[in-house]
């Protein structure tokens, strides 16, 4: 186990260094490098505890205890900004780290006012000053990990729906990478819940150190990033969602709402769309997007999307692919 831990620690810091020294770094590169540094320190703290360094250097005791509270927010931020084109983290997103900061503030007295012997005794369970805090922290960590995994998955699902409404192709917009990251972290916290409930609620005695399962998942996640992560980085940055520029008409069916012409206008535009699809066959363009087709029809992407959704009752992706299927 020690060899595996050392490998995970080295790889975490090494990949973080590669991302930080990468030219033309995106915001997601920076977020992932910070997250990998956090993982590396977390693994290093567990390794020091495993080999007995905490008893030799008691000032290290508890330094990484709140670290599990950081993995959920980092996963969420990495997912969020992989699906956006922001170059700076929003101020509001720093609020996700309040629980971790609060945990460190609560432990302030332990870090700076407990003697080395008291720290050793607490680590051995001979004093129970932080027993309630430890229980509350554990519950918060598990809830945080599962909640952020679910939130991150919901972000990818929402983004996938946007892709289906704006692109006729999937190349370069694959979110499988993010799904695998989310599943890894979800598996980590789900395993932790099973271990904690089995051990503490039902008194199951494992024949091995059950913590190994949790740390092996973390190390496996790091190895996954090492193998697939760097080449998958920024997979969304070149495929941002089309937006209306100042030169585009921001028209929509709403402007016809009060005139009673909504159905009539939609039907005429849809007929024009079908004629264009049959005669010009824009669906043969492998990079056809909602904005490209809208430009061809001289209408806004927003209006075209409404027409397809209302008249064909499918999203843009399925609408175009139905023509591709008939063609081939």
User: Is 182 among the domain residues?
Assistant: yes
Residues 210 and 145 in one domain: yes
When pLDDT is averaged across residues 41-48 and rounded to a whole number, the result is: 94
Residues 258 and 211 in one domain: no
Q: Under DSSP, is residue 26 helix (H, G, I), strand (E, B) or coil? A: coil
Domain boundary among 167, 199, 232: 232
Confidence at 240, pLDDT banded by 50, 70, 90: very low
pLDDT at 129 > cutoff 80: yes
Residues 282 and 148 in one domain: no
User: Is 239 among the domain residues?
Assistant: no
Cβ contact 144:97 at 8 Å: no
Confidence at 252, pLDDT banded by 50, 70, 90: low
Q: What percent of the chain has pLDDT over 90?
A: 33
Residue pLDDT, tens place only, 300-328: 888 888 888 888 887 787 788 777 666 65
* pLDDT confidence of residue 293: 84
Report the 10 Å Cβ neighbour count for 162.
13
Residues 181 and 261 in one domain: no
Domain boundary among 232, 264, 295: 232
Confidence at 249, pLDDT banded by 50, 70, 90: very low
User: Is 244 among the domain residues?
Assistant: no
* pLDDT confidence of residue 9: 95
Q: What's the total number of domains in the chain?
A: 2
User: Is 238 among the domain residues?
Assistant: no
User: Is 241 among the domain residues?
Assistant: no
When pLDDT is averaged across residues 114-138 and rounded to a whole number, the result is: 89
Residues 275 and 170 in one domain: no
Average pLDDT of the chain to the nearest whole number: 82
User: Is 247 among the domain residues?
Assistant: no
What is the domain extent for residue 220?
2-232
Cβ contact 95:30 at 8 Å: no
Residues 266 and 192 in one domain: no
E-strand ranges in the chain read none
User: Is 243 among the domain residues?
Assistant: no
Residues 107 and 195 in one domain: yes
């Amino acid at each position: 186990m020690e060899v595996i831990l050392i490998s995970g620690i080295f790889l975490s810091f090494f990949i973080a260094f590669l991302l930080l020294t990468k030219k033309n770094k995106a915001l997601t590169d920076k977020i992932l490098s910070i997250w990998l540094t956090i993982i590396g320190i977390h693994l290093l703290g567990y390794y020091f505890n495993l080999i007995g360094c905490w008893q030799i250097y008691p000032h290290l005791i508890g330094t990484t205890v709140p670290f599990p509270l950081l993995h959920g927010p980092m996963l969420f931020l990495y997912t969020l900004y992989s699906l956006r084109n922001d170059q700076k983290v929003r101020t509001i997103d720093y609020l996700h780290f309040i629980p971790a900061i609060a945990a460190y503030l609560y432990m302030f007295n332990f870090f700076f006012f407990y003697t080395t012997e008291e720290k050793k005794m607490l680590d051995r369970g001979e004093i129970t000053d932080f027993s309630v805090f430890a229980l509350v922290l554990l519950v918060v960590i598990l809830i945080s990990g599962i909640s952020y995994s679910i939130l991150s998955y919901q972000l990818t699902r929402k983004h996938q729906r946007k892709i289906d409404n704006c692109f006729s192709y999937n190349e370069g917009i694959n979110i499988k990478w993010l799904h695998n990251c989310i599943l890894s972290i979800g598996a980590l916290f789900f395993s932790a819940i099973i271990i904690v409930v089995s051990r503490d609620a039902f008194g199951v005695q494992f024949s091995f150190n059950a913590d190994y399962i949790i740390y092996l998942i973390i190390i496996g996640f790091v190895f996954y990033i090492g193998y697939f992560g760097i080449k998958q980085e920024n997979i969304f940055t070149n495929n941002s969602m089309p937006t209306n520029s100042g030169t585009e008409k921001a028209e929509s069916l709403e402007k016809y709402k009060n005139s009673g012409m909504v159905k009539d206008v939609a039907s005429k535009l849809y007929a024009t769309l079908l004629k264009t699809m049959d005669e010009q066959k824009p669906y043969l363009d492998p990079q056809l997007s909602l904005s490209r087709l809208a430009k061809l029809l001289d209408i806004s992407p927003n209006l075209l999307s409404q027409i397809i959704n209302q008249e064909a009752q499918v999203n843009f992706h399925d609408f175009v692919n139905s023509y591709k299927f008939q063609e081939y």
